Chains A and B, each alone.
Chain A
């Protein structure tokens, strides 16, 4: 995967969380992931097509997503429920939108499908392309989440 693709997703994620949940996540060092195991308890995944193809997933630990969605809704959410799954789909959609806008500025036109959301311990993230993906780890005070992206 071209390393130029990493920044739009990193910046897109920070931008979305800052704007929607008033949280500035701390990004860690990206690394290669070779298995399909999700790094979080709830994940949103979206397919991308066009001049760049593949998929993007956002995978959140439970305490992390509870804090994010509580901030987004202005009310405390204590468990992974329908609101949380809705929000994960919407966050995935928004990160993909902002990242695609940035990729478009690099001359790459990309369309996105509708996100799907999966939850539960040890669920899988199956990327459209198969094979390894790049993980961009993030942390907030309450927990961690990752952006898991596979593009070519």
Chain B
């Protein structure tokens, strides 16, 4: 399956540097259509006004965490089906279980390479 590299990706992370790092990794694998939000609340607002095809969100953020954002998206009829990739600093089993229950499509543990990110995105897109 060929993945459409023109999809609009929303990167959510409270660290500006990490957003830039992810943007840089996405650019390396051909995704140029990227927008950013600095926390879950801003991301959710952005989603109300813009069509987004894919979300990559950090787990740990003040002012609406990644998990809270995921739950809000899954509860919103217009956004519920948006693919969601969660970024975490550690793959704690209880966190993974909680995210899966909340409807996450996949998760990625920091640090990660562009190739791993590419694989996760492709896997999610192929599965929907």
Contacts and interface: CB of A to CB of B under 8 A. Distances in A.
B50 interface: no
- Interface majority SS on A: helix, strand, loop or mixed? helix
Contact of B111 (A19, A69, A83): A19
B90 interface: yes
A53 B109 CA distance: 23
Contact of B110 (A69, A83, A87, A97): A97
B7 interface: no
Contacts of B29: none
B20 A73 contact: yes
| Chain A CB within 10 Å, residue with most, of B16, B89, B113 | B89
B17 A72 contact: yes
Nearest to B111: A19
Nearest to A101: B90
Contact of A72 (B24, B27, B90): B24
A98 B111 CA distance: 8
Interface in B76-105: 89-91
A73 B109 contact: no
Nearest to A99: B90
B122 interface: no
B112 A69 contact: no
B21 interface: yes
Most buried by A among B18, B90, B110, B113: B90
User: For this complex, into which size category does the number of interface residues on chain B fall?
Assistant: 10 to 19
Contacts of A72: 17, 21, 24
A20 interface: yes
B60 to A, nearest CB: 8
A86 B18 CA distance: 8
A20 B111 contact: yes
A74 B109 CA distance: 21
A83 B20 contact: yes
Given A94-B89, A97-B90, A89 B15 contact: yes
Given A93-B89, A100-B90, A87 B111 contact: no
A72 B112 CA distance: 12
Interface of A: 15-16, 19-20, 69, 72-74, 82-83, 86-87, 89-90, 93-94, 96-98, 100-101, 112
Given A93-B89, A94-B110, 14 more contacts: A19-B112, A19-B113, A73-B17, A73-B20, A83-B16, A83-B17, A83-B20, A87-B17, A87-B21, A90-B18, A90-B21, A94-B111, A97-B89, A98-B111
